[in-house]
């Protein structure tokens, strides 16, 4: 089992930045793939970014490319999502996710989910 705990959400204004963290505990496999999803009010959950713990390879949704950066610290079993240039359209609950198979994660059906952290961007 892998337990994921997110932190770093909050209320910010348009153009501000936030840095989300997700710390994994339990069976933190070195081959784990970790990612972020978000769910805005009244909408489905959507993919944001993913990183492979083994080599740091990343992939981003087009809507956040160039503004969001995902990174990792394997010594702390933690991944980060640096969000710059935030807009009201980024308002959502952000969920950390993990799986041993990147394809499963990218399909939106990862094995492990965090509880989510709220990000609200005011105009």
What is the pLDDT, as a whole number, of residue 75?
A: 92
pLDDT in tens, 26-41: 887 777 899 999 999 9
Confidence of residue 113 (pLDDT cuts 50, 70, 90): very high
Confidence of residue 45 (pLDDT cuts 50, 70, 90): very high
What is the pLDDT, as a whole number, of residue 32?
A: 87
* Mean residue pLDDT across the chain: 95
- In this structure, how many other beta carbons lie within 10 angstroms of the beta carbon of residue 101? 13
Average pLDDT over residues 39-66: 95
Structure tokens at 75: 């010594």
pLDDT in tens, 56-95: 999 999 999 999 999 999 999 999 999 999 999 999 999 9
Is 54 or 8 the better-scoring residue by pLDDT? 8
pLDDT at 49 over 80: yes
Contact residues for 99 (Cβ-Cβ < 8 A; gap 6+): 32, 33, 105, 110, 111, 112
Report d(CA 36, CA 79) in Å as an integer: 10
């Amino acid at each position: 089992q892998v337990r994921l705990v997110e932190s770093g959400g909050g209320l910010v204004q348009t153009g501000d930045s936030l840095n989300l963290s997700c710390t994994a505990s339990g069976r933190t496999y070195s081959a784990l793939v970790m990612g972020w999803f978000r769910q805005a009010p009244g909408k489905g959950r959507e993919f944001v970014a993913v990183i492979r713990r083994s080599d740091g390879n990343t992939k981003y949704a087009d809507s956040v490319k160039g503004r969001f950066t995902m990174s990792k610290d394997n010594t702390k079993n933690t991944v980060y999502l640096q969000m710059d240039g935030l807009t009201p359209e980024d308002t959502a609950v952000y969920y950390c996710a993990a799986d041993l198979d990147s394809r499963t994660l990218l399909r939106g059906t990862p094995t492990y989910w965090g509880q989510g952290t709220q990000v609200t961007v005011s105009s």
